[in-house]
Structure 1
């Protein structure tokens, strides 16, 4: 397991082939991470479930020796997904770059973007119906 702290965010990445979910407490807050896919090298791509606020959320993936963090906003009722920001952190957890992406993407079934959107939208739907 690869654990790295980025400020108040704990990133947990498990190097397993199967789907994984990891829960960890951090500063009295539960951090919950779900593997939503893998990159071309087999490294996991993780949904940071603790980042979900309505239909906005973050996915994390290994990039070189660091971590890439992308924030998305889903328009669940319309089936649309928007990339909001992209950040890269080095191995020490320092922010190396950040940019506003503000673009619509078309998530293809089975991709990390589509898988994470499905989880977030289903959770939002369940929250509304309760």
Structure 2
């Protein structure tokens, strides 16, 4: 699959679509799971701020960006935003409805949370 997208959206799409990237991108985007079609879901390690993190994956002909907040001490996970970008990198859809979601350790959001909680040195992770 070939994507013609600019900036960060392009790097993510290339990484997720063919599994290869230059070393810099490979270190930036960590695969934390796969969707039902077998496409990678990646954690963007450069955008982690405290316990807020973003996951990216393929969505139709574009990508999705999902932003989460983790409460490491309580093992609680909160969804903050979902955005869908088209092939040109343009924002197509955005949902900023916030709310708690179940923490499932072996899910993509759960694996992302584990990495984030370990990074900040939260106890028990």
TM over 0.5: yes
Q: Which has the higher helix share?
A: 2
Q: Determine the structure 2 residue equivalent to 1:117.
A: 113
Which of 8, 13, 16 is 1:13 aligned to? 16
Cα RMSD, aligned residues only: 2.7
Higher normalized contact order (CA 8 Å, seq sep 6+, divided by chain length): 2
In the TM superposition, 1:40-51 aligns within 5 A as 40-51=36-47
Q: Any unmatched runs of 5+ in structure 2? A: none
Residue by residue over 1:24-57, the C-alpha shift from the partner in whole angstroms, topping out at 9 and shown as x without a partner, is 27xxxxx700000000000000001111000001
Question: Comparing both structures, which one devotes a greater share of its residues to strand?
Answer: 1
Corresponding residue number in structure 2 for 1:34: 30
Could you report, residue by residue, the CA deviation over 1:7-33 in whole angstroms, capped at 9, with x for unpaired residues? Answer: 4554132545xxx997427xxxxx700
* Alpha carbons of structure 1 residues 73 and 91: separation in structure 2 relative to 1, 3 Å: same
TM-score (norm: length of structure 2): 0.81
Contact 2:30–2:42 under 8 Å retained in 1: yes
Where does structure 1 lack aligned partners over 5 or more consecutive residues? 26-30
